[in-house]
Structure 1
Amino acid sequence: MVVAASTSAVALARQLLAILRRDGDRLRRIDDYLHGRHADPYMPPQADDEYRLLARRAVSNWMPLLVGTPAQALYIDGHRAGSGTDTSTEPDSATPEWEHWQRSRLDARQAAVYRGALTYGHAFTVTERNRTGTIVTKGLSALKTSALYEDPAHDDTPYAALTVTTWPKDDQPGVARLWDAKREYAVSFLSLDDEKSIRVQGGSVHGASECPVTRFAAYVDLEGRTLGVIEPMIALQDRINQTVFDLLLAQSYGSTKVRTVTGMAPPVQRNPETGEPVLDEQGNPIPLRINHNSRRFLFAEDPDVRFGSLDETPLQGFIESIDMSIRHLSALAQVPPHHLLGQIANLSAEALQAAETALSRKIAEFRTSFGESWERVFRLAAELAGNVSSAEDYRGEVVWRDMESRSLAQAADALGKLREQLGIPERGLWRRVPGVTQTELEDWEQMREDDDSVAQLAGALTRATPEAAAPIEKAVA
């Protein structure tokens, strides 16, 4: 059965908006925990304002650190075209892919895509022509974007995607953009729950042979479900908040000694004229407030009066419990304990490297997943630009910056051994230098070519006129 384009687009819009409705509560809960809006710790039903103030202060938000630690190690510094393309001999910054990267200002904007994928489990980008005709790629939030896949576990190309640009407000309908394999449509809706209010306007051809939206997923299982780094840690975060809350309660109400006295009645208010005790509404004498502090002494004339004290509540157990929970968080999230606890004293370089092994493996997994997504983005941009060879380049790859913490001396020693013992060319090791950028690599390349040209000229002059070559070599030097 052949379905009209408009009807098919409406059906796609309904499915995609239904996905946003289904996942909305879960994603908003993750967003709340990222921004410190956590569930309140347990407290008695009759808790007063003081209790609730302590509950608010008990929130210790570790979630941004779980997202930021791997995200700060994800930085693309170049693109290497696959062999067989027309640009295989050009420097990385001269390839069409890298030019598209720079036009889209993804040097800075790539971090938002990684953080979104790590937070919610997935994020999206769309590659398209802007109003000026320039092909750009920009990120799309998982809170506003959904996509449909025939096989969500294995397909990297959705057959439809939708992103909300304006949510409904008052009487104004929401607005969204819908893409399928050939066209882009404008969608309006009154609410995610009202399927009958969905309207789709006639679409325009977007220019690509497939849906221009690309998914960036942190973890994907064989059911096609995505998972970020925050959702599995929510229960542990709540446990930390509860322990901190209990610590604050003990610190506020039980961390000081309590002085006690028995066998002595407190002084009461008396009528200055009659000397009779002043009674409250229940007929009980109203006691006087005793101004007692560390500078005052209590004494009694009656020998039966006994003074004593109640010991303070020890806080060390709460502190150790918080420390244990943070270590559990470190193990489950694969973040080194010294990143969370700040304890790096007396750790050798080998110990630090061993502690970060799990984090390095985790980052390597993210680089593999995100790298494949960026390669699809580059192929989409090349297709929109009419570059056939780059659009079919499935052997190209992105170049990730080496973000491991090691000294320049250690790197130089290791690179020297790789060259001498394994025979790896010098230029093949340049990218391994810590902190080197693509611009510096191109400068080194140009300097090497200039030095080679001067050396060839000096060698030719030496062979032709050995007597006159010496002054020329000195002048060149």
Structure 2
Amino acid sequence: MADTSPASLAKELLAILDRDEGRMGRIDRYIRGEHDDPYMPPQADDEYKLLAKRSVSNWIPLLVSTPAQALYVDGFRPGSSTEGPSEAPASTSVEWSHWQRSRLDARQSAIYRGALGFGHSFVLTEKAKRGVTSKGLSAKRTAALYEDPANDETPYAALTIVALPKGEARGKARMWDGSYEYAVTYKSKADADSVRVARLKRHGASECPVTRFAASVDLEGRTVGVVEPMIALQDRINQSVFDLLVAQTYTSHEVRYATGMAPPMQMEMVDTEGNVTTDPELAVDSRPKLDAAGNPMPAQINHNARRFLFAEDPDVKFGSLPAGPVNSLIDSIDMSIRHLAAVSQTPPTHVLGQIANLSAEALLAAETSLQRMITEFQSVFGESWERVFRLAAELEGETTSAENFHGEVQWRDMESRSLAQAADALGKLAEQLGIPKRGLWKRVPGVTQTEYEDWVDMAEEDDSVGQLASALTRATPSTSSVPASRDEELIAA
């Protein structure tokens, strides 16, 4: 039987972090632009190394930012176990109040970027001084254990490092299981004997309060982001750019040459004893200046388009070597970038910037693959947020909301559509299909949860005023129905 004591769990979680440290570190380096050097000859000089440094063209952040910028939770509909959605305003629900208290409008992006970059990230939901809050945890410092990592949404235990070991100071970490929070200290992630665990308190939830946000999980429980599969293509682009820089530095310009003559040498003055001197009055002779290896050093030739070359010896010949072509290298870079765009499902218009003379239909077709990928991320991340909301409701003491699995995360519509196009489409849905107009309000581009609820309130107020006006109109008799007085009857007669 497996040992499930807190100390054993802490050792296993730290071992997972130690095992994945190299892989996570490499992904992090590529996101930050610290790539592996392209191939260079073993005897490469400083000029080659400078060109290699300048050849890094970091496309990785674009692959992370493009889907992350289209993921934005704009609201949460609590739902109801009965038929139909809950009529309570979503902005006043316990779940959404926890969201605003945690400032997740701004912090959610970092959670998505971590999940897209490393394959997964985590969110911790806990009680704080100002109420229940949630915050993101880095995949480089956090690990979780699952009985079935491919299908379980609730971890058996989770650990996050809060301070790394430094000198004699031990590293510190926090760990949670299904009931308690623990303080963990250690000397090294690989040193299991140095791990110490102390129970702190009950965290208040009925299960581990850490939620995993995984970009992609296979049936083996492995998570993969958008960065790791693209590292090989990124290295290919860097190599092509390096080859281009080398070619344009050494072969892209016409080279002039002269044969049958020796270049002038650098000269230095010597005194009567043969020592080098810089005083012209002490100098009695001159000789070629030697380098460290004892070879004469040629003088630099100041030649440009305004100077003319000539020689006294009739056997001297002048000529030039043509520049080497670089178009093939440019085409190679363009091809590699296109491969990167195709494999990562990033529209070519995002990476190449070629949007001239493209119709709206062409742009929509180019972004179809990206929209499918974003929809997949919304599905998996939405399930994770729903668990976070249930945990928040449970910690707030809302038992009904904690057991409600009918809630739904509402994602902001980030597709490129004009307001006029959206209004025309929504109008046709209402007129031709009979969809209630109020049910289409959330489809308006850019509308927030608060704006939607304001519209609902204003519509109810307008409806109340209209009903009151109708009631007053029905209660007030018209002029024609009022009986005429006796004087009016005599006048009429």
Structure 2 SS opposite 1:219: coil
2:420 matched to which residue of 1?
409
Kept in 1, the 8 Å contact 2:81–2:406? The answer is no
2:359 matched to which residue of 1?
348
Q: Quick one: structure 1 residues 275 and 259, their matched pair in 2 at CA, closer, same or farther if it must change by over 3 Å?
A: farther
Q: Quick one: structure 1 residues 278 and 87, their matched pair in 2 at CA, closer, same or farther if it must change by over 3 Å?
A: closer
1:450 paired to 2:451:
no
1:23 paired to 2:20:
yes
Question: How far does residue 204 in structure 1 lie from its aligned partner after superposition?
Answer: 1.3
Code of the aligned partner of 1:310: L
- Once residues 255 and 230 of structure 2 are traced to their aligned partners in structure 1, the CA distance between those partners, rounded to angstroms, is 39
Question: How far does residue 356 in structure 1 lie from its aligned partner after superposition?
Answer: 0.2
Question: How far does residue 267 in structure 1 lie from its aligned partner after superposition?
Answer: 3.6
- Once residues 153 and 34 of structure 1 are traced to their aligned partners in structure 2, the CA distance between those partners, rounded to angstroms, is 26
Of the three residues 384, 394, 397, the one matched with 2:408 is: 397
Q: Quick one: structure 1 residues 270 and 215, their matched pair in 2 at CA, closer, same or farther if it must change by over 3 Å?
A: closer
1:253 matched to which residue of 2?
250
Structure 1 SS opposite 2:197: strand
Of the three residues 160, 177, 192, the one matched with 1:195 is: 192
Question: How far does residue 450 in structure 1 lie from its aligned partner after superposition?
Answer: 1.4
- Once residues 16 and 305 of structure 2 are traced to their aligned partners in structure 1, the CA distance between those partners, rounded to angstroms, is 64
Of the three residues 343, 348, 360, the one matched with 1:332 is: 343
Question: How far does residue 359 in structure 1 lie from its aligned partner after superposition?
Answer: 0.2
Code of the aligned partner of 2:103: R
- Once residues 19 and 438 of structure 1 are traced to their aligned partners in structure 2, the CA distance between those partners, rounded to angstroms, is 40
- Once residues 279 and 14 of structure 1 are traced to their aligned partners in structure 2, the CA distance between those partners, rounded to angstroms, is 68
2:324 matched to which residue of 1?
313
1:127-206 aligned at under 5 Å gives the runs 127-130=125-128, 132=129, 134-206=131-203
- Once residues 285 and 161 of structure 1 are traced to their aligned partners in structure 2, the CA distance between those partners, rounded to angstroms, is 70
Question: How far does residue 284 in structure 1 lie from its aligned partner after superposition?
Answer: 6.6
Question: How far does residue 100 in structure 1 lie from its aligned partner after superposition?
Answer: 1.1
Of the three residues 211, 214, 226, the one matched with 1:214 is: 211
1:371 paired to 2:373:
no
Question: How far does residue 453 in structure 1 lie from its aligned partner after superposition?
Answer: 1.1
Structure 2 SS opposite 1:259: strand
Kept in 2, the 8 Å contact 1:121–1:228? The answer is yes
Kept in 1, the 8 Å contact 2:268–2:289? The answer is no
Q: Quick one: structure 1 residues 460 and 241, their matched pair in 2 at CA, closer, same or farther if it must change by over 3 Å?
A: same
Kept in 2, the 8 Å contact 1:177–1:187? The answer is yes
Q: Spell out, residue by residue over 1:304-328, the C-alpha distance to the aligned partner (whole angstroms, 9 max, x if none).
A: 3322111112121111111111000
2:441 matched to which residue of 1?
430
- Once residues 62 and 295 of structure 2 are traced to their aligned partners in structure 1, the CA distance between those partners, rounded to angstroms, is 57
Of the three residues 272, 295, 300, the one matched with 2:311 is: 300
- Once residues 298 and 122 of structure 2 are traced to their aligned partners in structure 1, the CA distance between those partners, rounded to angstroms, is 69
2:89 matched to which residue of 1?
91
- Once residues 121 and 2 of structure 1 are traced to their aligned partners in structure 2, the CA distance between those partners, rounded to angstroms, is 28
Q: Quick one: structure 1 residues 283 and 183, their matched pair in 2 at CA, closer, same or farther if it must change by over 3 Å?
A: closer
Of the three residues 234, 241, 244, the one matched with 2:241 is: 244
Question: How far does residue 51 in structure 1 lie from its aligned partner after superposition?
Answer: 1.3
2:106 matched to which residue of 1?
108
- Once residues 31 and 410 of structure 1 are traced to their aligned partners in structure 2, the CA distance between those partners, rounded to angstroms, is 41
Question: How far does residue 75 in structure 1 lie from its aligned partner after superposition?
Answer: 0.4
1:37 paired to 2:11:
no
What TM-score comes out, normalization by structure 2 length? 0.90
Question: How far does residue 275 in structure 1 lie from its aligned partner after superposition?
Answer: 8.7
Q: Quick one: structure 1 residues 276 and 101, their matched pair in 2 at CA, closer, same or farther if it must change by over 3 Å?
A: closer
Return 5+ residue gaps in structure 2 as ranges: 270-282, 480-493
- Once residues 229 and 2 of structure 1 are traced to their aligned partners in structure 2, the CA distance between those partners, rounded to angstroms, is 34
Code of the aligned partner of 2:382: G
Question: How far does residue 332 in structure 1 lie from its aligned partner after superposition?
Answer: 0.4
Kept in 2, the 8 Å contact 1:268–1:277? The answer is no
Structure 1 SS opposite 2:242: helix
Greater Cα shift, 99-108 or 79-88? 79-88
- Once residues 98 and 287 of structure 1 are traced to their aligned partners in structure 2, the CA distance between those partners, rounded to angstroms, is 77
Q: Spell out, residue by residue over 1:355-410, the C-alpha distance to the aligned partner (whole angstroms, 9 max, x if none).
A: 00000000000000000000001111111111111111111110000000111111
Kept in 2, the 8 Å contact 1:125–1:140? The answer is yes
- Once residues 294 and 348 of structure 2 are traced to their aligned partners in structure 1, the CA distance between those partners, rounded to angstroms, is 61
Kept in 2, the 8 Å contact 1:123–1:142? The answer is yes
Q: Quick one: structure 1 residues 50 and 285, their matched pair in 2 at CA, closer, same or farther if it must change by over 3 Å?
A: closer
Kept in 2, the 8 Å contact 1:158–1:211? The answer is yes
Return 5+ residue gaps in structure 1 as ranges: 469-477
Kept in 2, the 8 Å contact 1:277–1:285? The answer is no
Code of the aligned partner of 1:154: N
2:71 matched to which residue of 1?
74
1:474 matched to which residue of 2?
none
- Once residues 295 and 221 of structure 1 are traced to their aligned partners in structure 2, the CA distance between those partners, rounded to angstroms, is 68
Q: Spell out, residue by residue over 1:11-44, the C-alpha distance to the aligned partner (whole angstroms, 9 max, x if none).
A: 0001100100111110010000000010011111
1:357 matched to which residue of 2?
368
Question: How far does residue 268 in structure 1 lie from its aligned partner after superposition?
Answer: 4.3
- Once residues 108 and 245 of structure 2 are traced to their aligned partners in structure 1, the CA distance between those partners, rounded to angstroms, is 40
- Which structure has the larger Rg? 2
Structure 2 SS opposite 1:226: coil
Greater Cα shift, 87-96 or 194-203? 87-96
Superposition RMSD in Å: 2.1
Structure 1 SS opposite 2:5: helix
Q: Spell out, residue by residue over 1:71-120, the C-alpha distance to the aligned partner (whole angstroms, 9 max, x if none).
A: 00000111112223799111210111111111111111111110000000
Of the three residues 391, 397, 400, the one matched with 1:386 is: 397
